[in-house]
Amino acid sequence: MPQTNDRPIVAITMGDPAGVGPEIVIKALCHDIVHECCRPLVVGDSGVLKRALKLLGVAMDLRLLSDVTQARFTPPEVELLDLHNVDWSRVQPGTVGAEAGRAATEYVIKATELALAGQVQAIATAPLNKEAMRLGGYDFIGHTEILAELTGTPRCTTMLASGPLRVVHVTRHLPLREVAAHITTEQVLETIEITAEGLRAWGMERPRLGVAALNPHGGDGGLIGDEEITAIAPAVQAAQERGIDARGPFPADSIFVRALHDEFDVVVAMYHDQGHIPIKVHGFEESVAVTLGLPIVRTSVDHGTAFDIAWQGVADPRSMVEAIKLAARLAVGKVEEVSSHKKRDP
């Protein structure tokens, strides 16, 4: 196992203590590939992680730190920046709670501060619960909103990736009845631009964006919805005029297959489930989220806190492993390993 210091330091946040986060972090750290691709630094609570180790029957040496500069990164020892911020008597495993929500948000805040200070090169996050965060005193919708505020980023978005399939969303956490009102030319164009900028930052000189329609059959010329005509197509045209290789809108029931056949590098979906369903059907266990537009590298598991199976020892860590691997690759600029195609001439 490599012991050199050229591997990036990846801060791994523990996630909601009542959810599967502690379990999948421990399980991920049992994979040699994690230590081979990076120097993992867990940001969490020692008491919770020790409980997870006992649950899983894993013998792992946690080296408790109060400051990153104390880290040695000598596997099999695992470095833990211990925020010591969980009173376990106030946590009920598998249940939404204020104690867990507050603590989980604090891990993300600390990891972001470390990344902005250059003390870590990337962040890989275990899942949060939005309701628990609010109960804990933090009024954020999710990770993206926390990261945007802390980094002062006005424009960022989350991209989901599962193998060669990548998806970004124009709208995410909205009731379905409200989605159409938010599909505007400005909103679609901004998403296209952020996505293109983010992929260019990876090294894709001319990323190919396929833009999904909102309505069935792409609206059938306005017969079953006109957002394609009034909002989406004008946004695609405006993007093209700005030198972005964007095409569409294409019906959602075919665009993802076209992307899997290497016609597009990423699909711009109009709403949450339109993009999440194909990603999770294609590869639920190994799908990863990555935030585009930030001044730091951040990846995440593509699943929630899974309270229904939390603290039972059965959670699958593959998405966590993939998130750490992707964070490490992006941190060192190995874009050829995250791109499905070689760089193309404009």
CB 302 within 8 A of CB 270: no
Say yes or no to pLDDT of 249 above 50.
Answer: yes
Confidence grade of residue 334 (pLDDT, cut at 50, 70, 90):
low
Q: Which residues contact 244 (CB under 8 A, 6 or more apart)?
A: 192, 193, 196, 209
Confidence grade of residue 341 (pLDDT, cut at 50, 70, 90):
very low
More confident residue, 132 or 340: 132
Confidence grade of residue 155 (pLDDT, cut at 50, 70, 90):
confident
Query: Is the domain of 206 the same as that of 309?
Result: no
Number of neighbours of residue 82 by Cβ within 10 angstroms: 18
pLDDT of residue 2: 41
| Number of structural domains in the chain | 2
Query: Is the domain of 21 the same as that of 138?
Result: yes
> Which of 105, 109, 240, 252 minimizes the C-alpha distance to 170?
252
Kindly report, residue by residue over 8-37, the tens digit of the pLDDT: 999 999 999 999 999 999 999 999 999 999
pTM: 0.86
Query: Is the domain of 133 the same as that of 161?
Result: no
Maximum distance among all alpha carbons in the chain? Answer: 64
Range of the domain at 171: 156-285
How many Å apart are CA 76 and CA 31, to the nearest integer?
A: 11
User: Tokens 């002062």 sit at which residue?
Assistant: 152
Query: Is the domain of 142 the same as that of 166?
Result: no
Look at residues 285, 304, 320 and tell me which one is the last residue of a structural domain.
285
Query: Is the domain of 3 the same as that of 77?
Result: yes
Query: Which token pair is 245?
Result: 């290789």
Mean pLDDT of 167-173: 92
Kindly report, residue by residue over 66-110, the tens digit of the pLDDT: 999 999 998 889 999 999 999 999 999 999 999 999 999 999 999
Query: Is the domain of 138 the same as that of 164?
Result: no
Query: Is the domain of 111 the same as that of 174?
Result: no
Query: Is the domain of 211 the same as that of 131?
Result: no
Q: Which residues contact 132 (CB under 8 A, 6 or more apart)?
A: 16, 18, 96, 97, 98, 100, 101, 104, 305
Say yes or no to pLDDT of 156 above 90.
Answer: no
Instruction: Look at the chain and count its residues.
Output: 346
pLDDT of residue 293: 87
pLDDT of residue 4: 55
Mean pLDDT of 148-158: 89
Look at residues 262, 285, 308 and tell me which one is the last residue of a structural domain.
285
Query: Is the domain of 48 the same as that of 83?
Result: yes
Query: Is the domain of 63 the same as that of 192?
Result: no
Kindly report, residue by residue over 196-214, the tens digit of the pLDDT: 998 888 778 899 999 999 9
More confident residue, 249 or 292: 249
Domain of residue 224, CATH code = 3.40.718.10
Look at residues 285, 311, 327 and tell me which one is the last residue of a structural domain.
285
pLDDT of residue 18: 98
Output Rg (C-alpha) for the chain, integer angstroms: 20
Mean pLDDT of 255-273: 96
- % of the chain exceeding 70 in pLDDT: 95
Query: Is the domain of 315 the same as that of 271?
Result: no
How many Å apart are CA 53 and CA 30, to the nearest integer?
A: 11
Query: Is the domain of 21 the same as that of 122?
Result: yes
